Structure 1
Amino acid sequence: MDPNLQLSVAILAASALATHLWFRNFEPQSYTPVLVGLLLGPAPLAISLWRHSYFISTSFCLAYPSFYVSVLLSIVVYRLSPLHPLAKYPGPLLARTTKLWAVWKSRDGKLPLCYEYLHARYGPIVRIGPNELSVVEKTLIPHIFGVQGMPKGPIWDGRRITPSNSRNQGNYSLIGQRNSLRHAQLRKAWNRAFSAEALLDYQDIVVNRARELANQLEAACKRNEGQVDIAKWISYFSFDFMGDLAFGCSFDLLQRGDKDGYQASMDKALILPSLTQHVPWLAHAIRLLPVGSSATGAFGAFAVRQAKNRSTQNVIRKDLFYHLVNNTYSEEEASPFPLIVSNAVLAIIAGSDTTASVLSNIVYYLLSSPLYLERLREEIDQSFPSIYDGSTSLDAARLAELPWLNAVINETLRLQPPVPTGLQRAPEQGGGGRAIGTMFVEEGTAIQVPPFVLHRDPRYFSPDPQKFWPDRWILAGKDPKVVLDLGAFIPFSFGPANCVGKRLALLELRFVVALLINRFELDFAAGWDVHSWEANLRDRFVMSKGELMVDMKPRGK
């Protein structure tokens, strides 16, 4: 072989291997190191070819494609080889090769169904990425999410929505904070905001908003001859309530509809992060493009406006904004404004979209099972006979004790958890890996637990884990044929990074369901395709939904 050719081949192999090892050991979270590696990596080969009589243009045309092919080949061979740390775990060939597989599978929002199929085929531990596992093993949940568990995984580096001139992790919201110590620090303010004392203050807001929802639905019934998209109105309620809770003011969607496009911009803003979460460095590059930043930018700008408006109000009102501003670090030190904005986005999305999807699914499942609906109505009527005329007030403590109401809510949370697949953890960066149960998770490996799949596992929920059957929550512990393992029930996640608003969410669900069932006769709208509801559910980290058309009329009128 020509010595010059030998030298070029050696340079090609060395530079490709070096680039592969660099990316392997220093997983890029932004596009800058990717560009640097891909642009500078072929340079030694191009220079070598140029020095050995090739024209400079020819040298570059030969060097760069050869380099890229070599790097890709090196990466693919390694990821599929027995030398890879995750080689023993089964999974689709493309998933083991590239995370672009997950991007493709996420495009239509049906990733939960994909994961369900994979676990049915491969078992409780499936390799869903070159360096990622999906786990539906109950015994591992405390090791993954518990006090001694792991911090948030890399998907959060690809889910940033708010516009910011700073990528300082100190300004990341609570839910996206990957540093465990920083997360615990941020969590203190949220714990105060959702303490038992604070929930008492919020209860009147929930009741008033729920009554407004019922009144607006009654008016909509008259305008539309009883046929309404109840999912839309529930979303309006949730959005307005989060305005009250987060900023002490309503967004007035129940009164005016989404004329300003606030909710529409939020729904659109969730689509891109649901794709880029799988390839974090790609997220930063896409944000530079107009097509990538328009939807997220519009919603981020909306959150900034709300935070600025609230910050200019000279009132002492203990809403969520108050706690975040005054208590994130200490009683004396206020939070930086970018952090407030990040948390404003978190509050609006996590507090409105999740509750709205669960409430809408409750309505769907009850209308699909009229006997369950009547059973719930009897229970509510007996406890609160006259909610609709205002002579009986809803009481949170009494609602929490209604067995069938809570069974319906829990069963809906089981089948359609508000966050169906996005619970990911990874070893602390620089920590060298973690042992979880009998597994050792190397640094750079992420573990995902999809509640959608876990909650339908017959080992933990049977009989009929795919069926809406609230009786399982009543019969568990009484009927030996009924399996209900609460250790595998994680609709609000698990451990110190679980959903801080869980108690408030349950309060909302109970109030709204009780009020709607007591005040209205409900049925699917005539001619509406009932099967379209589940077909239109989309996993965008939280659940995105379509229309839920119902015929409804006030009871006794």
Structure 2
Amino acid sequence: MDDTLRSLWAQRPIDLPRLGVTIIVWVAAFFAIKVSIRIFYNVFLHPLRKFPGPLVGRATHLWRAIKIQSGDLPQTVKKLHDIYGPVVRIAPDELSFIESQAWKDIYGHHGSYEMAKNPKLYSPQGKYQPDTIISADREHHTMLRRQLAHGFSERSMQAQEPVIREYVDLLMCRLEEHSNNGRNPLNMTSWFNFATFDIIGNLGFGNDFGCLEKSYYHPWVKAITHNLKNIATMRTLVHFVPSYFLYFLVQVGVLKGRKDFVNYSKDMMRKRQALEVERPDLIEGLLKKKDVLVSE
């Protein structure tokens, strides 16, 4: 009997195209049902369902993702507050507040209690993303802030004044050279950026980027802009894909701005550590605790 059944099955033709279409239809139907259930829950059953906001924003993260990628989310949210009032639901799990009291209620100190940081916002790559002073928990953040405070003390700021003055003087000289005694118009946004990043480079990494000297944007400065765009992309994708997938996109170079920014920052930090001299800069306090930071 078993041999007969196997023989009949072996003789039965398999329509691969039809089988493929059937699988695709079933998979699509499964995801359609899953998305429909999620939308129904977000609109009618979610704990934030009573807060006002655009229906598409309350139903799915897709609306917010599109607004972030287009770059006009802040302007759009401002318009929504004009319509709905001080609290607006701009995503299924996100509220926007416009009143100052909200800042104190959310981010203020409440004894031992602290509002947890949303990992999808602060650490979209999950465990693959190292902690920063922005994403660190309360204990780690306190330690980092304490070490950085040395660079922002009154004594350090006074010691940094001659360094800053040198770059201001260089800026004025470069403006005079390129303006041809005021006859040539200059893009002052670029020149102020050149001066700013050179100062940051010197005080943060012990060496400037040569922006003022060469009248151009150093690749690390360009990487900052691209990194900000990549961060926006990760903030949108994190609601639809797992964190390790975002890490993979960074590593293979799809999110190239993020990868370049991290690599340039590491190179600059290694050069700063190689100086092995005390400087009144912004990260001298961190370097004094580098062994502790690395062990963590």
TMscore range, shorter length: 0.7 to 0.9
Q: Select which of 212, 217, 223 maps to 2:170.
A: 212
Q: Find out whether 1:144 has 2:106 as its counterpart.
A: yes
2:39 corresponds to = 76
2:133 corresponds to = 174
Q: Select which of 199, 212, 226 maps to 2:184.
A: 226
CA contact (8 A) 1:118 1:126 kept: yes
Structure 1 residues 259-274: aligned runs within 5 Å? 260-274=218-232
For the residues of structure 2 that align with 1:259 and 1:145, how far apart are their CA atoms? 36
CA contact (8 A) 2:150 2:282 kept: no
For the residues of structure 1 that align with 2:142 and 2:128, how far apart are their CA atoms? 17
1:311 corresponds to = 273
Q: Deviations over 1:154-192 (max 9, x none)?
A: 31123x6xxxxx9366x3110122x22222222211222
For the residues of structure 2 that align with 1:261 and 1:224, how far apart are their CA atoms? 29
Q: Find out whether 1:127 has 2:92 as its counterpart.
A: no
1:155 corresponds to = 121
Q: Find out whether 1:186 has 2:152 as its counterpart.
A: no
CA contact (8 A) 2:148 2:283 kept: no
For the residues of structure 1 that align with 2:168 and 2:244, how far apart are their CA atoms? 40
Q: Find out whether 1:326 has 2:250 as its counterpart.
A: no
Deviation of 1:278 (Å): 3.8
In the alignment, residue 285 of structure 1 is paired with which amino acid?
F
1:238 corresponds to = 196
Q: Select which of 55, 73, 92 maps to 1:111.
A: 73
In the alignment, residue 225 of structure 1 is paired with which amino acid?
R
CA contact (8 A) 1:125 1:133 kept: yes
CA contact (8 A) 2:209 2:218 kept: no
Deviation of 1:226 (Å): 2.9
CA contact (8 A) 2:89 2:96 kept: yes
Q: Which runs of 5+ in 2 are unaligned?
A: 1-17
Structure 1 residues 283-362: aligned runs within 5 Å? 284-289=244-249, 290=252, 292-327=254-289, 333-336=291-294
Structure 1 residues 5-20: aligned runs within 5 Å? none
For the residues of structure 2 that align with 1:134 and 1:242, how far apart are their CA atoms? 32
Q: Deviations over 1:269-316 (max 9, x none)?
A: 211212322442546524534563222222221111101111222322
For the residues of structure 2 that align with 1:144 and 1:95, how far apart are their CA atoms? 22
CA contact (8 A) 2:68 2:236 kept: no
SS at match of 2:161: helix
TM-score of the two chains, using structure 1 as the length reference: 0.45
1:195 corresponds to = 153
Deviation of 1:264 (Å): 1.8
CA contact (8 A) 1:188 1:327 kept: no
Count residues with an aligned counterpart: 271
For the residues of structure 1 that align with 2:258 and 2:217, how far apart are their CA atoms? 18
Q: Find out whether 1:250 has 2:208 as its counterpart.
A: yes
Deviation of 1:99 (Å): 1.8
CA contact (8 A) 1:91 1:126 kept: yes
TM-score of the two chains, using structure 2 as the length reference: 0.82
SS at match of 1:336: helix
Q: Deviations over 1:468-507 (max 9, x none)?
A: xxxxxxxxxxxxxxxxxxxxxxxxxxxxxxxxxxxxxxxx
Distance 1:61 1:151, change over 3 A: closer
For the residues of structure 2 that align with 1:152 and 1:211, how far apart are their CA atoms? 42
SS at match of 1:317: coil
For the residues of structure 2 that align with 1:118 and 1:190, how far apart are their CA atoms? 38
SS at match of 1:126: strand
Q: Deviations over 1:34-58 (max 9, x none)?
A: xxxxxxxxxxxxxxxxxxxxx9757
Q: Select which of 29, 53, 57 maps to 1:66.
A: 29
Distance 1:250 1:314, change over 3 A: same
CA contact (8 A) 1:269 1:299 kept: yes
For the residues of structure 1 that align with 2:105 and 2:166, how far apart are their CA atoms? 41
1:95 corresponds to = 57
Structure with more of its chain in strand, by fraction: 1
